[in-house]
Chains A and B, each alone.
Chain A
Amino acid sequence: MLKQLIADIKASMSIYDSEKDESYGLLAEFPDPGALYHAAHGVREGGYRRYDTYSPFPIHGMDKAMGMGNSKVGFLTLGGGVFGFALAYWMQWWTGQVDYPINISGKPFFSIEPSIPIMFELTVFFAALATVVGMLALNGLPRPYNPLFYSNSFKRVTDDAFFILISSSDRKFDAEKTGSFLTELGATSIEEIHDHGSADA
């Protein structure tokens, strides 16, 4: 149960369970963003869930084709912002009013107006920090080891190549059937990816 949940969360980060020296999944290359888009739709229609598409740039409409909802990063941003605001409010009130009250030209020890700039700055700062850290966390990054890094054709994914990986941990995965299914969807080449373990290959 818990194991399943963890595996699902990892799958949402594009990290799939595999054993050392076992198959990680099938990597299929597609010729262009259009073909990738239609193939991703096809893979989902075909009942696969543990799969991902890889492209050098974000492809418009791909989230929909893969049946994914809105990213959760926004909630983390909101949380960071609220924290930053609360921290700035509390810090300025507590230091000015409670811990170190000092009379300057008879001004109140704490008031909202002169506190606004720092409240704003810290709100933005913690919101931005939560966004970046949250984005990396939701993506499972940094990820020093990835079985895909051992594929030579996959090196071109950050240049001009477009791939779909169907993980061998998918319930429907079957090396042969999945392979021919991907060919039907228009893959130009298919490669089996092996998990080399986190040790050097």
Chain B
Amino acid sequence: MNTANTDIAPTSDVDYHVDDPLVQGNPTFHEITELVSYHTEKKTPLAWWGAFGIASGLLMVLLVMVAYLFWNGIGVWGLNNPVGWGFAIVNFVFWVGIGHAGTLISAILFLFRQKWRTAINRSAEAMTLFAVMCALIFPTIHVGRIWAIYWTLPYPNQMAMWPQFKSPLLWDVFAVSVYFMVSIMFWYVGLIPDLATLRDRATRKLRQKVLGVMAMGWTGANRHWRNYEKAYLLLAALATPLVLSVHSVVSFDFAVSIVPGWHTTIFPPYFVAGAIFSGFAMVMTLMIVARKVFGLQNIITVNHLEKMNLIILLTGSMVGFAYITEFFIAWYSGVLYEQYAFSNRAFGPYAWAYWIMMSCNLLFPQFFWFKRLRRSVPFMFVISILVNVGMWFERFVIVVISLHRDYLPSAWDYYSPTFVDILTLLGSFGLFFTMFLLFLRFFPMVAVAEVKAILPQSDPHFYDHSGDGQLVDHDLAVSGGEASGERAEIN
């Protein structure tokens, strides 16, 4: 079994002129199946139960807090008169943003033929779904009269009313729910061949039945693959503009208003860059742990992590550039309120939040300019967490600092969260990790069929050198050949 427990030369010099093999150790097709399927078939490890216990405990905290909120109303939050949007909206934007990396990896990198995405796309897409679930909770519970939330949907009703389609908040309802549903479809389509793999390996009757239903009778027929691949390509092409639109629409919630600090045209691209930035950081955090725990270092290699770090560096710099541009435009506009909104961010009562944001998002990712650091697993783990802290504070800065002092000084106030706010945020992490742990336990966390398809021996012309495909010795064919490079020791 080819489960490496150590990284292959994590800090060694890499020759960027030669492409490293995407999957290290040159495993066979069967070894990849084993490596991934095994984790859904083995006895549930004690460590999983431990992690699941903590996560579902936090989920209980969320449920209790939400119940408390429903019983008492949103007065239990720290909201006050100028600051009508507090933690709930901060958390909403934060979680939607996290989700964006999954779609970026699965759709945009697919269109750009970045084959390294196959190692991480499945779990990143799952992360998207769970992050969007967390996100959807917050505006839902924020409406106050939760029992009337379905009024946001356009359906004929006895009140003879329709939703107001000119409102950015309604665009948001459509954007985020469409995003959620398209993400589910994309994820499930990707899962079908791998569910069939698990079905064919299942030994217990019930498991066979359940997986049989979920795999829908997939056989890997080429007449199916043909439509499947086309559908996957089209879904990627649809999800790409969708993911860019979702955070743009989220930013319209702010940009379409007239609050100083919100009313700027830079918001849509700046929000999208920030979303990808934070999402990649979350993928990093999860993958660094998962690859270690599940022994997947050969599939999710340090090269993959380095590529993600480069994206974090790029998007972090874009976000930092946007912060500085905002300041410049505020000064250049000559609008007093706008100028005050920004100097108040950097030097006002919430300056601590602003500087946490600046250092975590703009400063720390710059360490990734150094190759040694962006290939060091412990270092990138720390940075990935700092980036997520920074991105949460970015949304805090935008929402709370802009609102707490707008036009009239007589209406100014200071916002601080209550314990309900804080526990609800913590609880949303409980929901996220509960879902993610269930995913790791029951689904193949790496796209098995896709990883196989990027192995050199999946190319039919790989075998041409040993004849015309007639009766090639199978072991010889899959283990030999110049294209695959050196074959590592497999025990």
Contacts and interface: CB of A to CB of B under 8 A. Distances in A.
Interface string A124-146: 11011101101110110111111
B349 interface: no
Contacts, number: 247
A120 B221 contact: no
Contact of A71 (B230, B239, B252): B230
Contact of A73 (B230, B472, B474): B230
A33 B228 contact: no
A122 B174 CA distance: 8
Nearest to A72: B227
Nearest to A102: B164
B464 A52 contact: no
Contact of A114 (B166, B188, B471): B166
Interface in B230-264: 230-231, 234-235, 238-239, 241-242, 245, 249, 252
A34 B469 contact: yes
Interface stretch (A18-26, A155-163, A172-180): A155-163
A44 B258 CA distance: 67
B162 interface: yes
Interface stretch (B80-88, B131-139, B177-185, B370-378): B177-185
Contacts of B20: none
Interface stretch (B91-99, B274-282, B454-462): B454-462
Interface string A11-37: 011100000000000000001111111
B223 A117 contact: no
Name the prevailing secondary structure of the B interface residues: helix
Contacts of A117: 171, 174-175, 245, 249, 252
Nearest to B28: A160
A73 to B, nearest CB: 5
Contacts of B165: 91-92, 95-96, 114-115, 118
B216 A158 contact: no
A190 interface: no
A16 B160 CA distance: 53
A121 B245 CA distance: 8
Given A14-B219, A14-B223, A158 B450 contact: no
Interface stretch (B189-197, B299-307, B319-327, B413-421): B189-197
Interface in B151-174: 154, 160-166, 170-171, 174
A124 B178 contact: yes
Given A32-B457, A53-B222, A57-B458, A124 B227 contact: no
A54 B33 CA distance: 17
B380 interface: no
A58 B225 contact: yes
A6 interface: no
B228 A159 contact: no
Contacts of A60: 458-460
Given A117-B174, A117-B252, A158-B196, A59 B234 contact: no
A121 B178 contact: yes
B30 A160 contact: yes
Chain A interface mostly helix, strand, loop or mixed? Answer: helix
Nearest to B225: A58
B340 interface: no
Given A56-B449, A159-B29, A31 B477 contact: yes
B201 interface: yes
B227 A135 contact: yes
Interface string B437-479: 0000000000011101100011111111000111111100110
B470 A100 contact: no
A72 B234 CA distance: 12
A122 B227 CA distance: 23
Closest 6 CB pairs of A and B: A34-B463, A143-B217, A37-B460, A38-B469, A135-B231, A160-B29
Given A34-B460, A34-B462, A185-B470, 16 more contacts: A33-B458, A33-B462, A33-B463, A38-B468, A52-B222, A57-B450, A60-B459, A71-B230, A74-B230, A77-B234, A117-B249, A117-B252, A121-B175, A132-B231, A146-B217, A159-B29
Interface of B: 28-30, 33, 154, 160-166, 170-171, 174-175, 178, 181-182, 185-186, 188-189, 193, 196-197, 199-201, 212-213, 216-231, 234-235, 238-239, 241-242, 245, 249, 252, 448-450, 452-453, 457-464, 468-474, 477-478
